[in-house]
Amino acid sequence: MATAVVPFGSELKRKAWMREGLVQSSHKSFWSAMTGNTMESVVFQAKNESASEGHTVVFDFDGNLSGGARKGKETAFGTGEQKRKFSDKLTVDRYRLVVDNGDEFDGVDIGSIDLTTHADSRSKLSDLFMRWKDQALFDVAQGLCVTQTGITQTPSHRIDLGTTFNWNTLTDLERQIKTGRGFTSGGVRAPLKPYRTSGGEDVWLFLVDTDMASMLKKDTAGYQNILRSADVRGDNNRLIKGVIGKIGQLYIVEAPVFFGATAGATSGWSFNQFNVEISGLRQYQGANPATAIWSGQEGFDYAGTNIHSRGLLLGAGAIQLGFGKQPDYKFQASEDFGIKSESAVEFWMEAQKTKLKLESGSQYNMAKISEMDFGVIAVDLQVSA
Residue 136 — pLDDT band, cuts 50, 70, 90? very high
Q: Which helix (H) or strand (E) holds 193?
A: none
If DSSP codes are grouped into helix, strand and coil, which group holds residue 188? coil
CB 375 within 8 A of CB 315: yes
> Which strand (E) or helix (H) includes residue 244?
none
The DSSP letter of residue 258 is: P
- Report residue 146's pLDDT band, with 50, 70 and 90 as the boundaries: low
CA gap 347, 173 in Å, rounded:
38
> Cα(77)–Cα(27) distance, rounded to whole angstroms?
55
> Pick the residue with more confidence: 40 or 14?
40
- pLDDT per residue as tens digits for the range 19-38: 787 877 877 899 988 998 88
Highest mean pLDDT among 3-12, 285-294, 333-342: 285-294
pLDDT band (50, 70, 90) for residue 366:
confident
| Closest to 202 measured CA to CA, from 352, 315, 80 | 315
| Confidence check: pLDDT of 138 > 90 | yes
Residues 195-212: b if buried by 16+ CB within 10 A, e if exposed:
beeeeeeebbbbbbbbbb
**Has residue 173 got a pLDDT over 70?**
yes
Rounded to an integer, what is the distance from CA 288 to the centroid of its chain? Answer: 23
Cβ(237)–Cβ(115) under 8 Å? no
Q: How far, in Å, CA of 176 to CA of 311, rounded? A: 15
Contact between residue 294 and residue 273 where contact means Cβ atoms under 8 Å apart: no
Report the 10 Å Cβ neighbour count for 170.
22
What pLDDT was estimated at residue 70?
Answer: 82
pLDDT at residue 242 is higher than 50: no
Question: Tens digit of pLDDT for each residue in 187-235?
Answer: 999 999 998 877 778 889 999 999 999 888 887 566 656 565 555 444 4
Out of 2-6, 94-98, 318-322, least confident range: 2-6
